[in-house]
């Protein structure tokens, strides 16, 4: 039943995409946070995907799932805005915000949700085909 | 007599197993649409089916080493030799060669053909059954 593996493959991809969506959500939520007491503002995070072979045997290259290999932090400096009256302003009167780019995050979000939908479609098709296979010969 | 009864069924069974293998391959391609460096793969269905049914060059043939053994062509061992790389239509900066439009199209195409093969098998079984029961 090699089709049963489709659920593993598409399921792993859907889970990886939902993790990506989760990271996008925390980036967007922190888009306007300022530097905390330690002087470090929130840094935008990015997930990196990696292929994961999930066939029955080690050299079965046909079913390739996905997993999140790393979540890396964007190291570009945060936005600095001159606002001396802000309670978080430094000695020069600058406030450091997080380095989240809201436009990039929105694009990332749409891409993640499209990929998620694709994988759900694949699982639905595989399910209906398997159900029809189970009725074979009747 | 009995093997002639199931010969045409065997062919469809091989086709069905190859279709499900291809379905799995396309699902992997769709799953890895955002993985950097992933190379999309596909099988040449006609060639794989020819190999699987033994009318081309058979990949593996079961050997009968004792008089009681039943001969047969190696079913199931046909996936690795026929894996091809799909040619990328548009290059990507992260070296991913999955073309989502093409993958979705082949997925739909493959699932329709899978269903068609299923219907062939069902019709075959029904024909055989009605031949067995005869006109009553």
Exposed/middle/buried for residue A80 (C-beta within 10 Å: 0-12, 13-18, 19+): middle
Q: Of A61, A65, A66, give the one whose Cα is nearest residue A49.
A: A66
Reported as a single tens digit per residue, the pLDDT across A4-63 is: 888 989 999 999 999 999 999 999 999 888 876 666 888 999 999 999 887 666 556 668
What's the structural domain count of chain B? 1
Q: How confident is the model at residue A89 (pLDDT cuts 50, 70, 90)?
A: confident
Cβ-contact B6, B104 below 8 angstroms: no
Residue B134: count of CB within 10 angstroms of its CB: 6
Domain that holds residue B67: 2-133
pLDDT of B76: 46
Tokens, residue A25: 């959500």
A63·B32 Cβ contact <8 A:
no
| Burial classification of residue A77, based on how many CB atoms lie within 10 Å of its CB (0-12 exposed, 13-18 middle, 19 or more buried) | exposed
By Cβ distance, the residue of A3, A66, A118 closest to B24 is A3
Percent pLDDT > 70 in chain B is 77
By the CB < 8 Å criterion, does A19 face chain B?
Answer: no
* Residue B122 pLDDT exceeds 50: yes
pTM of the model: 0.77
B92-96 mean pLDDT: 84
| B2-31 helix and B100-133 helix, angle to the nearest 10 degrees | 160
Concatenated DSSP letters of B62-90: E---STTPPPEE--S--SSTTEEEPPPSS
B100 touches chain A (CB under 8 A): yes
- Read off the pLDDT of each residue in A68-91 and give the average, rounded to a whole number: 88
Identify the DSSP state of A4. Answer: G
Can you say how many angstroms the Cα of residue B40 is from the centroid of all Cα atoms in its chain? Answer: 18
Determine whether the interchain pair A125/B125 forms a contact, defined as Cβ–Cβ distance below 8 Å. no
Residue in B closest to A113 by C-alpha: B34
Residues of A within 8 A of B41 (CB-CB) are: 61-62
- Partners of residue B61 on adjacent β-strands: B73
The whole-number pLDDT of residue A94 equals 87
**pLDDT tens digits, B56-89:** 444 444 555 666 655 554 444 444 456 788 777 7
For residue B50, count other CB atoms closer than 10 A to its CB. Answer: 15
- Which is it for the CA torsion A113, A116, A122, A123, positive or negative? negative
Comparing alpha-carbon positions, the chain A residue that sits nearest to B29 is A64
Q: Cα separation of B60 and B73, whole Å?
A: 7
**Over the stretch A92-109, which tens digit does the pLDDT of each residue have?**
888 888 999 999 999 999
Q: What is the pLDDT of residue A86?
A: 86
Q: Which ranges in A30-99 belong to alpha helices (H)?
A: none
């Amino acid at each position: 039943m090699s089709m049963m593996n489709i659920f593993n493959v598409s399921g792993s991809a859907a889970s990886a995409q939902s993790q990506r969506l989760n990271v996008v959500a925390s980036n967007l939520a922190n888009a306007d946070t300022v530097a905390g007491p330690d002087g470090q503002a929130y840094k935008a995070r990015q997930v990196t995907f990696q292929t994961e072979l999930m066939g029955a045997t080690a050299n079965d290259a046909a079913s390739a799932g996905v997993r999140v290999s790393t979540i890396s932090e964007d190291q570009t400096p945060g936005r600095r805005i001159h606002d001396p009256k802000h309670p978080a302003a430094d000695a020069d009167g600058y406030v450091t915000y997080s380095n989240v780019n809201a436009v990039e995050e929105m694009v990332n979000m749409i891409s993640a949700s499209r990929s998620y939908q694709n994988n759900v479609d694949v699982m639905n098709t595989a399910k209906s085909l398997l159900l029809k296979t189970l009725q074979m010969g009747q | 007599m009995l093997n002639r009864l199931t010969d045409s069924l065997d062919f469809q069974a091989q086709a069905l197993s190859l279709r499900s293998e291809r379905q799995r391959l396309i699902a992997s391609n769709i799953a890895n649409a955002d993985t950097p460096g992933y190379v999309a793969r596909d099988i040449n269905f006609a060639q794989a089916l020819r190999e699987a049914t033994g009318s081309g060059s058979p990949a593996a043939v079961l050997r009968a080493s004792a008089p009681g053994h039943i001969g047969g062509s190696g079913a199931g061992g046909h996936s690795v030799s026929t894996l091809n790389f799909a040619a990328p239509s548009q290059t990507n900066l992260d070296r991913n060669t999955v073309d989502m439009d093409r993958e979705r199209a082949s997925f739909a195409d493959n699932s329709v053909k899978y269903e068609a093969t299923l219907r062939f098998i069902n019709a075959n079984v029904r024909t055989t059954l009605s031949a067995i029961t005869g006109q009553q």
